[in-house]
Structure 1
Amino acid sequence: MEKQEVSEMYEVSSVHSDKESVAVDLLAERPEQGSNFLAYANVVCVVAGTGTLGLPYALMMGGWIGVGVLLLSLIMSIYTAILLMKCLYYNGKYRLSSYQEIGRHAFGKPGLIAVWFFHTSIVIGAPVMYLILSGTEMAGLIPSAGLSAKVWIWICAAVVAVPFVAMKTLKEVAVMSVFGALATVVLVIVAVRGSIIDMSNPAYADVTHQNVILANLPTTVASISICFGGNVVYMHVEEAMRYPKSWNRVVAAALATCSVLYIATAIPGYLTYGSLAKSPILANLPQDAVTKAGTILIIIHVILAAPILLTSFALEFERLVDVTVARRGVVMERAYRSIIRLAIVGVCGAIACTVPYFGEFLSLLGALGNCTLIFVLPILCYFKLVGWRQMKPYELVWCAIIVVIGVISAVIGSVDAIKALKVAFDNDANK
């Protein structure tokens, strides 16, 4: 890529030519880091997976328009991911370290707190969702063990803790993401196969389909947004890339790959199960050996994906409390880091046992955290750090559309998800 192209991608238009060379140096090759393929696999592994399982249910809530919402979310997510990375290099002098730093540079302490809150809701909330899914599915797979879902949640948490504590950075965790991405592909094949088999099932002969359900549209957008929730790790993935100039291509390819998997799952799933679609879709599929194999694969996937998200959170927290080799020494740094990370896993396990409702938790997480982090904050931070005056009128209109969609979906989606959680708790209490 030419020097001029790099400056167009990552610099403020007012930055002079003497600073452009600094920005190019910041984006120079990093020989000690990982390849573009590992970065691509990292994004696919974190973004795809459990969100895929909720897509037929999302279409059930919003109707066939959900397919259009999915494609629109893809375009918006790629766009905001690129803007976010521009914010990371906005001053042309040095690279910011995190999403939180972007918020602080843009809006001071309020920006730092806002990003920290929504960021934490995702990097802690998503692993919690993974533990809920893996624990409940394990209880169904091995009923003969006599263990409750909560016990399985703690067992899965212990398994997640091993790589999370043992591996320090995303570069070390990246290899796991390749296996997680492959598991997602196989899971999609299982879901499509099960949906096709059930098309002739009399139990689903009278299901209904809707084109648009306006009342549920914000919640549908919120549920679909979880499928593109990679912003929380993008900064760390890019930091671990050997060729940071390739970020735009890597993130576009990764999110496009995820969208292909999503569409392949969503359309046959909703077509077959319609108004009876459940979240996760595993609950609808024929309970045969192939579906059980797919369930095992998704459990493997979430156990591999959880350490990636948790590592992103842990790196920020450890930087905040100054747990470094330079400050603590080799032995104590390792000891402090192990204690912190075990405590993080413990908190995730406790929350998962307290709120064991996958579908409702998925909707809340998508509405509260993802809609804000993916659609709203990248644009607001970009306007503040880089400026909106240099953008063309159609770009400003596009940004306004993204922000409006993000805000409406975050507010209404969160309210609906909280109501659904209350109903789930009340139903359990009345049993």
Structure 2
Amino acid sequence: MQDACDSVTVPILADSGKGTASFFKTTFNCLNTLLGIAVLSVPYALSCGGWASLLLLLIIPTATCYTGLLIEKCMQADSNIRTFPGIGEKAFGARGRLVVSIFINLELYLIAISFLILVADNLHSLVPNLHVSVQGFVINGHQTCILLAAVIIMPTVWIDNLTTLSYVSATGIVATVVIAGSVVWSGAFDGVGFNQKGVFLNWSGLPTSLSLYTLCYCNHPIFPTLYTSMRNRKQFKWVLVVCFVITTSVCVSMAILGYLMFGSQLKSQITLNLPTNALSAKVATYTALVNPLAKYALFLKPIVDAVESRLLSAHGKRIGSAFTGSALLCSTVLVALTIPYYEIFMSFIGAFTTVIGSILLPCLCYLRICGGCVDLGFELVVIRCTVLMGLLILVVGTYTCFIQIFEILYI
């Protein structure tokens, strides 16, 4: 289960266990996981916190790049470690492996739900009048789009070999470039312009900004697989530095351009703000539709494998896999229909699972594995500050998400 969780999220890393990947290939794979759907929400995050929150978009990648380097040091401490759950086991035994595996699968499950909502939001923007009426019971447009997305995705969760979808989902970098280009084109040539001033600081929106910025750097569980895949593992630290610099540059650029274009009117995904009649908007929207549809089954597969390993015998495993995948898809549909708010889901993932998986666990595991054999000195101060920052985002961001959900459902 644990190895599947890592390899599935690095879809084109076919030789991940052989140690033959070049610096370029590893960098490409790492960028492909970093430059995901979270980039669509960075302009909205900036609009929540104001221009001053851009400082957070420099602090958070610095901290998460550092925790990535801590994962590398944990890998160097024991050559037998090959996965993120393996680091947890080395640090805290079987319980450590279990805890890490739970958080990895929880994050994948929540991202799968956000995929459904993302597809439904963009599909609804293309066909706003779509709705279904069954014997007087009306299903509104957004709910219909969620159900339609589930119908399209359903056959993919029945596929046991996801190689083809893996290669399709490996176009994450291309998708990001296409969407970014479409946004720039809309601003420059489709009459939108870059004239909004925005606000300098919005204290009430900072928790959401923190959570969404953190979500952009949530791929730490695949770092061990990337590390073990490399021909020259001494170059891994430079892979991290290059990838985090490029990702941060893209995020900052998207945030600034989006905020200048739409200001406080920004929606949870910048594609929803683009003029629907413009070709550039249609290109961005269709690109935002295809990528999540291809990735959904890949993100769900480790959870299916985990359930199979616990509950199913080898006999009838194929049928059981299809049933498990279908049941998990149905459960994500129910959650998406109940809480169809993309920004809340993305904020919760960033504030909760990403903080735990990409900030807290790397620090705690490093202290447990390497703390007794090296003189930490100033590094211990840095780690403590990183943990405190993570705990701040965890508490404030998660609390804010729950308050937002409560207000929507009960007020």
> How far does residue 291 in structure 1 lie from its aligned partner after superposition?
0.8
Question: Hey, what does 2:48 align to over in structure 1?
Answer: 61
C-alpha separation in 2, matches of 1:166 and 1:256: 36
Residue 236 of structure 1, CA deviation: 4.8
Deviations 1:316-354 (A, max 9, x none): 444x4286xxx727xx44333333333332322222222
The question of 1:340 aligning with 2:328 is answered: no
Query: Is the contact between residue 130 and residue 144 of structure 2 (CA under 8 Å) also seen in structure 1?
Result: no
Aligned 8 A contact 1:57 1:278 in 2? yes
TM-score (norm: length of structure 2)? 0.81
1:12-411 to 2 correspondence within 5 Å? 30-31=17-18, 39-88=26-75, 90-92=77-79, 94-96=80-82, 98-108=83-93, 111-143=96-128, 145-146=130-131, 148-168=141-161, 173-196=165-188, 208-210=198-200, 212-236=201-225, 241=229, 243=231, 245=233, 247-287=236-276, 288-318=278-308, 320-321=309-310, 328=314, 332-387=316-371, 390-411=374-395
For these two proteins, the number of residue pairs brought into alignment is 387
* Secondary structure at the counterpart of residue 374 of structure 2: coil
Match of 1:414 in 2: 398
Q: Which residue is equivalent to 1:25?
A: none
Asked if the contact 2:122–2:272 (Cα under 8 Å) also holds between the matched residues in 1, the reply is no
Q: What amino acid is the match of 2:145?
A: W
Answer whether contact 2:50 2:199 (CA < 8 A) is retained: yes
8 Å CA contact 1:46, 1:305 repeated in 2: no
Long gaps (5+) in structure 2: 1-14, 133-140
Secondary structure of 2:199's partner?
coil
Hey, what's the Cα distance between the residues in 2 that align with 1:197 and 1:56? 19
Residue number in structure 1 paired with 2:10: none
Q: 1:293, CA displacement in angstroms?
A: 1.6
- Which structure 1 residue ranges, 5 or more long, are not aligned? 1-27
* Shift of residue 216, structure 1, vs aligned partner: 3.9
CA RMSD after TM alignment: 3.2
Aligned AA (1:124)? Y
CA change 1:396–1:138 in 2 (3 A) is same
1:26-80 Cα distance to aligned partner (Å, 9 max, x none):
xx99559876656544433333232112112211222223322222222222222
Could you tell me which amino acid in structure 2 is paired with residue 75 of structure 1? T
Residue deviations 1:343-369, cap 9 Å, x none? 332322222222100112211121111
Is contact 2:180–2:254 with CA below 8 Å preserved after alignment? yes
Give the counterpart letter for 2:159 in structure 1: A
Q: Equivalents in 1 of 2:17, 2:100: separation in Å?
A: 28
Deviation string, structure 1 residues 117-163 (Cα, Å, up to 9, x no partner): 43233110011111101012112212455453223223323444444
| Distance in structure 2 (CA, Å) of the matches to 1:81 and 1:150 | 39
TM-score by length of 1: 0.78
